[in-house]
Structures are given as structure tokens and as C-alpha cells.
Amino acid sequence: MADSFLQFSETLDALTPEESAWLGHQLEPIAVINGTEYPEDDDAVRNRDTEPSYQGLRFLQDYDDLNDDADVQGFQIEYQVDDTTYAWFSAEANGDADRLAHLIQKFLKRFRPDQCWSLTYATTCSKLCVGEFGGGAVFVTADEICWQSSYAFVEQQRTAFEARKSDAKIAG
């Protein structure tokens, strides 16, 4: 059996101290009880009488495809300081580009609504398995997230090819 991987490495450049603090704040685990956010380790959470309406990472509260993994970030983040501060997002094995795109969109909405951000990713495998290698890209703005994968590209081309072949048979 082979292991499949989704890998990426990208930065978010020229962060202000406020932007860096906001990113850190979004990655904190929280619990929401009666509409109020608490740190996940707060006494109000440990000694609660009611179940939280949400428990997990702050930035995933409004994530549509959450399942039960609200505490899974799906990427690593490191802050680097050269001439400016930037955040380096990466994943070496089981990256979740969807969750990162969600975080970046929230960031753009709040701080840079007229800017965009992009990420390319690789899908690889620990053994040579047919159909397990590919990749793609995500393009994020404050208003939308657009995806293109190598798998979708190949399928679009195959469909167009089959349609041309079918049209040629009908015309011939």
C-alpha cells in the first residue's frame, strides 16, 4: 500500500504587526458557548453544563466542509523576518490547501480586499502508483477562491477530445 501526499510551500508577504497578530489569533483553539468565544482550555469550557456550539480552531468556525476535524489546521505556519515580516505556509505530507485558502480569503477580506494570493500544490505518492501524481493551483481573492487541478485539466481535455471525435464521425 502506498501513501499519498499533498504538498505545498507559499508565503504571505509584507505583514504588519496587526496582520501577524490576527493570523496567530485565527489559529487558536476555541470553544463557543452561548455565542461567546472562550479559549479551549478556559475554566468555562472545562466546567460547562452545555456543549459548545463550536469547538476547534477559530478560523474554521465558518468553514463549510468542516466534518469533525475542527482542530486540524492542515498546514504549518512560520513567521520569517528579513526586510519585512512574512508568513510561510507549508505542508510536507497531508496538506489541506482548502483550509489554507479559507484562512487567506478571510485575511484578504479584512486587510487587503484589493489584492490576491495564489498557491500551487503537488500531489505525490510514496510508490509509483498510476494516477497518484499531479497537482494544481488555487487563486484567492477577497470574493472568490478558484481552483485548477491537473486531474480536472486532463478530464476536460479528454471530454473535448471525445466530443471532437464524435462530431467527426457524425460529419463523416
51-70: per-residue pLDDT in tens? 888 999 999 999 987 766 88
The predicted model gives 150-164 an average pLDDT of 93
Give CA–CA dist 22/37, Å, rounded.
16
The predicted model gives 76-90 an average pLDDT of 92
Nearest to 99 by CA among 46, 61, 48: 61
Q: Is 172 helix (H, G, I), strand (E, B) or coil?
A: coil
Give CA–CA dist 111/18, Å, rounded.
9
pLDDT over 90, % of the chain: 67
pLDDT at 110: 98
Domain spans of the chain? 4-27+73-171
Give CA–CA dist 97/104, Å, rounded.
10
Give CA–CA dist 130/106, Å, rounded.
37
pLDDT band at 85 (very low <50, low <70, confident <90, very high): very high
Give the HSE-up count for residue 121: Cα atoms under 13 Å, Cβ half-sphere: 28
